Amino acid sequence: MIKKIAITGGTHGNELTGVYLIKKWQDQPHLVKRSNFETILLHTNPQAIKECRRYIDKDLNRSFSKDILTQNPTNYEARRAHKLNALLGPKGDKNTEVDFIVDLHSTTANMGLSLVVSSKSKLTWQAVRYLCEKEPTLHVYRWMGDEEDAFVDSISPNGFAIEVGAIPQGVLRADLFEKSATLIYHLLDFFESYNKGDYKDENKQIDIYDHVKLVDYPRDKEGNIIAMVHQELQDKDYKLLKKGDPIFLTLKGETIYYEEDEPLFALFINEAAYYEKGFAMCLSRKINLAT
């Protein structure tokens, strides 16, 4: 039985889709109200939202590791992580305050409507499958990236993030705003059906993009970027890369080609926020997953 779910936004303060969806639903709570569970709406990083910055001291969406949550907080986001963990968790407890967290994000990459899933829970993947049935254009990326088990949604045993793009940082885009809202309404309908016992747990399979590796920009000995994403790859998220496909263009005008023997799918291509993290794209393998 699902008793409480949390919809969070503003984890990155310059990703306005989540910020303003939370504001919309705080003003119109009937839109996210369902008959048999409580929906909690929360801005996770208020100071970053106020300043329209990704974060103040450290990426909040990498601040929920066990180490950070068990040590005295040393920066603004660590303090927020401790507070959110107390409010929604505690992480790792059998009886967390909320049963499911969906964290709203946007990306500058041309990923359309996507889910980023790290949770292994059965309920999470049942919800993912339901959303895929309701929204055929939805992409699902199983993340195993730069830092593990440190996302906002990791506070709860069940949950995922919604990524929608391409949207510039600090910008609202109406079509993707509405698509994100509709996906949330489907998710809430799923939980209502699940609690009523109407949802049938059928062992179905869905296509997902399974994380393989992160790819950095080419750099010189001092660590400076010396190439950009090639124009033939730009905005082609979920494109299958094959050996010999162009992926980077150097500042001297030379093309760098994909050299992996295995064809892999590229996503989060040229994400603005990932320049500081040191990767230009993620590579993934498309698999059929039983849920």
pLDDT, tens digit (0-9, with 9 covering 90-100), for 35-67: 999 999 999 999 999 999 999 999 999 999 999
Query: To the nearest whole percent, how much of the chain has pLDDT over 70?
Result: 99
pLDDT at residue number 147: 57
pLDDT, tens digit (0-9, with 9 covering 90-100), for 91-146: 999 899 999 999 999 999 999 999 999 999 999 999 999 999 999 999 999 997 55
Report which of 61, 183, 191 is spatially closest to residue 126, judged by C-alpha positions. 191
Name the residue ranges covered by the structural domains of the chain.
4-202, 210-286
Report which of 276, 21, 43, 126 is spatially closest to residue 117, judged by C-alpha positions. 126
CA–CA gap between residue 176 and residue 167 (Å, rounded)? 8
Taking every pair of Cα atoms in the chain, the longest distance, rounded to a whole number of angstroms, is 62
Residues in contact with 6: Cβ distance below 8 Å, sequence separation at least 6, in sequence order: 39, 40, 41, 42, 88, 98, 100, 101, 102, 156
- pLDDT(244) > 80: yes
Sorting pLDDT into bands at 50, 70 and 90, what band is 8?
very high
- pLDDT(7) > 60: yes
Average pLDDT over the chain, rounded to an integer: 96
pLDDT at residue number 203: 74
pLDDT at residue number 156: 96
Contacts 24+ apart (CB under 8 A), 256-259: 256/218, 256/227, 256/230
Contact in structure between 43 and 19 (CB atoms under 8 Å)? yes
- At 57, phi and psi to the nearest 5? -115, -35
For the domain bounded by 210-286, which CATH number is listed?
Answer: 2.20.25.160
Sorting pLDDT into bands at 50, 70 and 90, what band is 160?
very high
Sorting pLDDT into bands at 50, 70 and 90, what band is 148?
low
**Mean pLDDT of the 144-160 span:** 84
pLDDT, tens digit (0-9, with 9 covering 90-100), for 250-267: 999 999 999 999 999 999
CA–CA gap between residue 72 and residue 51 (Å, rounded)? 25
Q: Check for a shared fold between 4-202 and 210-286.
A: no
Residues in contact with 243: Cβ distance below 8 Å, sequence separation at least 6, in sequence order: 257, 258, 259, 260, 261, 263
Architecture of domain 4-202: 3-Layer(aba) Sandwich (3.40)
DSSP conformation class of 234: T
Sorting pLDDT into bands at 50, 70 and 90, what band is 176?
very high
